[in-house]
């Protein structure tokens, strides 16, 4: 299958090396999230504060860097490989037949989604929260781009918003709306998406 597996645990490197050796060698990187402890697990929302370790979790990320599948398992249960393979087939049906992967494009270009409803936002901004509620109430499919963590996203917003990091900012199939105005968003969706 045309996919790169990356393992992350809060163990330190010597421990991971010993573990890999005990398994007869592992050919994908096992990464150590040991210090600062659990930083990456935290970033992905799977750190367990009390235990100081992480959930057993799987994220499938597509070629453009979008999360396509999240599975957080019971700590004692092993993730099901078949499920992950099925997700990969769905995310990229051709990959099952073809390898290697095409060369990556310019990261800035390929990491920002376009088409449909895209909301550039932060986790905390009040306008973003209102927009999420509105999208959900109106059953609008949309993609969130968190400008705090997505490379190039804040710069893109600044270009649209006269140099400010205004959130939310929307890219509705090419119509750019800076700030949350429910009427304008609704109008743009009517014109661009539901036409």
Partner 1 sequence: MKLYVGQSAPDFTLPSHLDKDVSLSDYLGKNIVLVFYPKAWTPI
State the DSSP H helix or E strand holding residue 145, giving kind and residue range, or none if neither. strand 142-146
Structure token pair of residue 6: 């990356």
What are residue 54's DSSP bridge partners? 47
Distance CA 143, CA 68 (A): 11
What are residue 176's DSSP bridge partners? 171
Question: What is the footprint of partner 1 within residues 46-85 (CB under 8 A)?
Answer: 46, 48, 51, 53-70, 75, 78-79, 84
Residue 20 binds partner 1 (CB under 8 A):
yes
Residue 39 binds partner 1 (CB under 8 A):
yes
One residue of 29, 93, 115, 126 binding partner 1 per CB under 8 A:
29
Residue 128 binds partner 1 (CB under 8 A):
no
One residue of 80, 130, 138, 149 binding partner 1 per CB under 8 A:
149
Q: How far is the CB of 33 from partner 1 (least distance, A)?
A: 6
One residue of 125, 134, 146, 177 binding partner 1 per CB under 8 A:
146
Residue 156 binds partner 1 (CB under 8 A):
no
Query: Site for partner 1 (CB under 8 A): how many residues?
Result: 80
Q: Closest CB to partner 1 among 92 and 171? A: 92
State the DSSP H helix or E strand holding residue 38, giving kind and residue range, or none if neither. none
State the DSSP H helix or E strand holding residue 74, giving kind and residue range, or none if neither. none
Q: How far is CA 67 from CA 58, 59, 101, 186, 190, in A?
A: 10, 7, 18, 26, 27
Question: What is the footprint of partner 1 within residues 93-122 (CB under 8 A)?
Answer: 95, 101-105, 107, 110-111, 113
One residue of 128, 131, 140, 153 binding partner 1 per CB under 8 A:
153
Q: What b/e string do you get for 31-69 counting C-beta neighbours within 10 Å, with b at 16 or more?
A: ebbeeeebeebeebebbeeeeebbbbebebeeeeeeeeb
* CB-CB contact of 167 with 128 (8 Å): yes
Q: Closest CB to partner 1 among 36 and 163? A: 36
Q: Closest CB to partner 1 among 17 and 187? A: 17
């Amino acid at each position: 299958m045309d996919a790169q597996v990356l393992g992350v645990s809060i163990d330190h490197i010597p421990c991971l090396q010993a573990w890999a050796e005990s398994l007869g060698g592992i050919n994908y990187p096992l990464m150590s999230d040991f210090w600062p402890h659990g930083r990456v697990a935290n970033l992905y929302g799977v750190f367990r504060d009390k235990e100081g370790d992480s959930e057993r979790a799987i994220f499938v990320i597509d070629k453009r860097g979008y999360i396509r599948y999240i599975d957080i398992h019971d700590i004692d249960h092993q993730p099901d490989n078949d499920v992950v393979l099925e997700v990969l087939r769905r995310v990229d049906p051709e990959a099952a037949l073809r390898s290697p992967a095409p060369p990556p494009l310019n990261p800035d270009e390929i990491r920002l989604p376009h088409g449909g409803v895209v909301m550039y936002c932060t986790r905390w901004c009040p306008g973003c929260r209102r927009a999420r509620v509105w999208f959900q109430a109106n059953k609008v499919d949309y993609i969130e781009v968190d400008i705090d963590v997505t490379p190039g996203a804040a710069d893109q917003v600044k270009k649209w918003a006269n140099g400010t990091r205004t959130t939310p900012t929307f890219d509705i199939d090419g119509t750019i709306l800076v700030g949350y105005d429910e009427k304008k968003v609704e109008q743009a969706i009517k014109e661009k998406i539901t036409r």
